[in-house]
Amino acid sequence: MHLESTVQELDLYYFQIDVSESVSRITSRFKFNPDLPGVILKENNKFVGMISQKNYWKYMSLPYSLDLAAKRSAKYLCELIDIENLIVSRNTLIVEAVQKSLERPAKLLEEPIVVKFSPRTYKLVDIHQLLVAYAKIYQSATKLIHNMYKELEESNKKLEDVSRLDTITNLVNRRIFEDFLKKNWKISVDKKRKILIYLIMFEIDCFKEYNDIYGYIEGDKCLRKIADIISSYLANTGDFAARYGGCKLAIVLCNKSGIQASAMAQNIREEIKELNLVNPSSQGKNCVTVSCGIAGMIPSFSNSPNTLIRATEQALDRAKKLGGNRQIMWNNSSATTHVV
């Protein structure tokens, strides 16, 4: 059962007689089949009414009623039991039929519904059966809606993941990088944890010239290879890497020492050189190299993530001014240079 299911898909009952026939025929049929919801009465093949088995026995249980009715035609019942019938077409949705049934007066709620197939053919649907079908539809619809919401959540998550990632490097973008840094900074300050946070920033040397020589497609491939090297160092560490912008890539290290940060930067730089990506414009090395700035701070009310970013950029700028292919460690008093 589903939302588009119609009443004709249910197990319908077919019992109709002409009003000229004897009431005794109805009596014998109801006795033989107590589950039959009712009888459809017709006159000259035209629908004139329906009498439910429940109402039939209600009237026939009166003193002498059954004996008196047995001698009469079914037309007598039409005059005796005059109850408004609910008639729906065969293509009526089960959900709609239930709604119409529940809109009836309370005394008619248990009355079966007449289903019209053609001008000469009518069948009955038991109200209990109709409600059971409706319950199945409701259950199916609830499950469908749940699955739709689940698919929507998954789609939204995928969209969110896509919006977080830089499509070229598969690293997170600058917005997410800044959010991550601010979040960890705030946690450290609020909980008074003296957590040392290091920021490492790489920039590809002479990258504009590399793009001019090989084109932007090769330039993107170069960026992706360098990003893959950086990602490999951060796998399962809880540390964080991002594309900061252009040909700049950044790493955030929490609770690491300056020696660890410097060693990681040097190892990454060495692996980048080992890629042997030819760059004739590189400063005497003839291959792709990177410059690197490193800065570390303990978050406090007197500084901010922007303070750390500026310090790292200053160290990176100095590395580039000294010819590139080197890393510089920044500190509060001065910047120290490590050339490899």
* Residue 7 pLDDT > 90: yes
Nearest Cα to 275, choosing from 241, 227, 233?
Answer: 227
Residue 220: its pLDDT value, please? 95
Pairing of strands 335-339, 326-330: antiparallel
* Residue 334 pLDDT > 60: no
Q: Is residue 256 a part of any domain in this protein?
A: yes
**φ, ψ (nearest 5 deg) of residue 171:** -90, 160
Residue 333: its pLDDT value, please? 46
* Residue 306 pLDDT > 90: yes
In a shared domain, residues 189 and 320: yes
Residue 238: its pLDDT value, please? 73
Give residue-wise pLDDT tens across range 271-301: 999 999 999 887 667 899 999 999 999 998 8
* Residue 340 pLDDT > 60: no
Locate the DSSP E strands across the chain.
16-18, 38-43, 46-52, 87-89, 113-118, 121-125, 197-204, 240-245, 248-254, 290-297, 326-330, 335-339
In contact, 253 and 180? CB cutoff 8 Å: no
Residue 80: its pLDDT value, please? 76
In contact, 265 and 327? CB cutoff 8 Å: yes
Tell me the percentage of the chain whose pLDDT exceeds 70.
93
Q: How many CA atoms lie within 13 A of 47 on its CB side?
A: 20
Q: Give residue for tokens 């410097």.
A: 262
The H helix count followed by the E strand count for the chain is: 11, 12
Give residue-wise pLDDT tens across range 94-138: 999 999 999 999 888 889 999 999 988 999 999 999 999 999 988
pTM over 0.85: no
Q: Is residue 186 a part of any domain in this protein?
A: yes
- DSSP assigned state of 283: S
Residue with more model confidence, 80 or 16? 16
Q: Is residue 168 a part of any domain in this protein?
A: no
Three-class secondary structure of residue 148 per DSSP: helix
In contact, 307 and 282? CB cutoff 8 Å: no
CA distance 25 to 244: 89
Q: Which CA distances in Å does 89 have to 8, 97, 134?
A: 9, 9, 17
The most confident of the ranges 136-150, 157-171, 287-301, 319-333 is 287-301
Q: Is residue 155 a part of any domain in this protein?
A: no
CA distance 319 to 149: 51
* Residue 159 pLDDT > 70: no
In a shared domain, residues 77 and 193: no
The mean predicted confidence, pLDDT, of the chain is 87
Residue 176, class by beta-carbon neighbours within 10 Å (0-12 exposed, 13-18 middle, 19+ buried)?
A: middle
In a shared domain, residues 120 and 186: no
**Last residue of a domain, which of 83, 112, 134?**
134
Lowest-pLDDT range of 3-17, 219-233, 281-295: 281-295
Give residue-wise pLDDT tens across range 247-276: 999 999 988 889 999 999 999 999 999 999
Residue 284: its pLDDT value, please? 61
Give residue-wise pLDDT tens across range 209-224: 999 999 999 999 999 9
Q: Give residue for tokens 């249910």.
A: 10
Residue 305 belongs to domain spanning? 174-339
Residue 146: its pLDDT value, please? 82
Q: Is residue 278 a part of any domain in this protein?
A: yes
Q: What CATH number is associated with residue 76? A: 3.10.580.10
Q: Give residue for tokens 């090989």.
A: 214
Residue 158: its pLDDT value, please? 61
In a shared domain, residues 239 and 118: no
